Amino acid sequence: MENSKKTKKRISLTNQIIAAMVLGIIAGLIGGKAIAPVEVVGNIFLRLIQMSVIVLIMGAVIEAVGRLEVSELGNLGVKILILFGVSTIIAAAIGCIFGMVLQPGRGVLIETDLNAAAFAAKEMSLQDMLLSFAPNNIVNAMTEGNMIQVIVFAILFGIGTSIMKGKKGSSRILDLLEEVNGILIEMVSKIMIFAPIGIGALIAATVGKSGVGILLPLIKFLLILAVGTFLHLAFCVAVTAAYCKTGFFNLSRKIANMTVVAFTTTSSAVTLPVKMKDSEEKLGVSKRISDLVNPLGMSLNSNGLAMFLSLAVVTIAQIYGQEVTIEMLLKIVVLASLACLGTVVVPGGGIVALTIVVPSLGLPLGGIAIMAGIDWFSGMFRTILNVDVDALAAMMIAKSAGELDDNILNNHTGG
């Protein structure tokens, strides 16, 4: 009895989800369309995740920005936020481009009640889209699930909090937010315990209605994500190496250790100590810059997740037979970039972020289950970008601030 309990504890959530996906496929093949009603179980799970995600992300962004010192909100803070924003948007754009060109979701069509008119209703002009970024009522934005407006409010609130903290020397609101965020993360962690049941039910219903062929695009999806990951990483390494006046291969060698740790653990949080240590001891980043940029980047600079989200949404749209227009691609890039904020630190962050983006674009929640089944595999590539680009950003910020040690960076024995 005791041994069986120990065995249960050893089964990770990732393995449970993979097992649930396999069982869901089998159940879907056996049950066919008759098994479709179990979809309600999966939808309940997704709703429970969605229930807290807006408050969680808003709190995480306010806390991350609010913790910055007033002096850091100036020149240094602007540089950090611009660098994070640009790299994340590029990653999301690459995901969209690869998805549109290579079309991993083509060739398989899911039966759905979603029609073209409903999907088109989510489209808007570029002017309307830009206007929609500005919230006129934060309560309405939260109740309607308008993540873009919520994050804009959170960034501005965080800046205001940082300024007030600078004047008073402390901030009770930040301490409260830290506790609330901790509670919400615990809540999401407990809900994620039921992920195998929810995802298994959704997979069973999806396969039952559409057949096992629905899973074939996932192999292509992972291959495209892997190629996109290493192309974006190579681009970022090349730009950083040129700016910091070091060699491409030297820099690649210096970040190899954190890359391997990120790939094998699939956790930005677990890799953070390694990233900070290597940033200082191998890349020559000052402790002050490393302590600021690396932890902040974990919440606000998730290139891997942005690429995954944009590629996943385009793939889901293709699977459901929906045309993706230029306007919709722009919205996908923006939503994918913003939905990353704060979700990396949440268990099952990829799934949580999908629950924000997919319904915002009018796509069926069943598409989330399709991607959730390969979340661990895609997580390996997501984490590489999430971790490495933070360290590269820290290098560029340190170089601009005159706090990059060239001797350490170009020491070819320290890699």
Beta bridge partners, 404, equal: 285
The single-letter DSSP state of residue 403 is -
- Print the SS3 string covering 198-224: HHHHHHHHHHHHHCHHHHHHHHHHHHH
Q: How many helices (H) and strands (E) does the chain have?
A: 22, 0
Q: How far is the C-alpha of 339 from the C-alpha of 345, rounded, in Å?
A: 13
Residue 31 belongs to a domain: no
**382 contacts 374 by C-beta, under 8 angstroms:** no
Q: What is the DSSP string of 99-153?
A: HHHH-TTTT-----S--HHHHHTT---HHHHHHTTS-S-HHHHHHTT-HHHHHHH
Residue 7 belongs to a domain: no
Amino acid at 357: V
Q: Considering the entire predicted model, what is its pTM?
A: 0.72
CATH (domain of 165)? 1.10.3860.10
pLDDT tens for each residue of 284-336: 999 888 877 887 788 778 999 999 999 999 999 998 888 888 888 998 998 89
Q: How far is the C-alpha of 122 from the C-alpha of 329, rounded, in Å?
A: 12
Residue 27 belongs to a domain: no
Q: What is the DSSP string of 220-266?
A: HHHHHHHHHHHHHHHHHHHHHHHHTT--HHHHHHHTHHHHHHHHHH-
The single-letter DSSP state of residue 373 is T
112 to each of 119, 319, 365, 367, how far by Cα in Å? 12, 10, 11, 11
Q: What is the DSSP string of 295-320?
A: HHHHHH--HHHHHHHHHHHHHHHHHT
pLDDT tens for each residue of 202-223: 888 878 876 766 667 788 999 9
pLDDT tens for each residue of 150-162: 878 888 898 899 8
Q: For position 230, what pLDDT does the model report? A: 96
Number of domain units in the chain = 1
Beta bridge partners, 285, equal: 404
Say whether pLDDT at 184 is over 90.
no
Residue 179 belongs to a domain: yes
Residue 136 belongs to a domain: yes
The single-letter DSSP state of residue 11 is S
pLDDT tens for each residue of 241-256: 999 999 999 999 999 9
Q: How far is the C-alpha of 26 from the C-alpha of 397, rounded, in Å?
A: 51
Host domain of residue 176: 36-108+124-410
Q: How far is the C-alpha of 205 from the C-alpha of 226, rounded, in Å?
A: 29
Q: For position 2, what pLDDT does the model report? A: 47
Residue 16 belongs to a domain: no
Confidence of residue 413 (pLDDT cuts 50, 70, 90): low
**45 contacts 199 by C-beta, under 8 angstroms:** yes
Q: For position 373, what pLDDT does the model report? A: 73
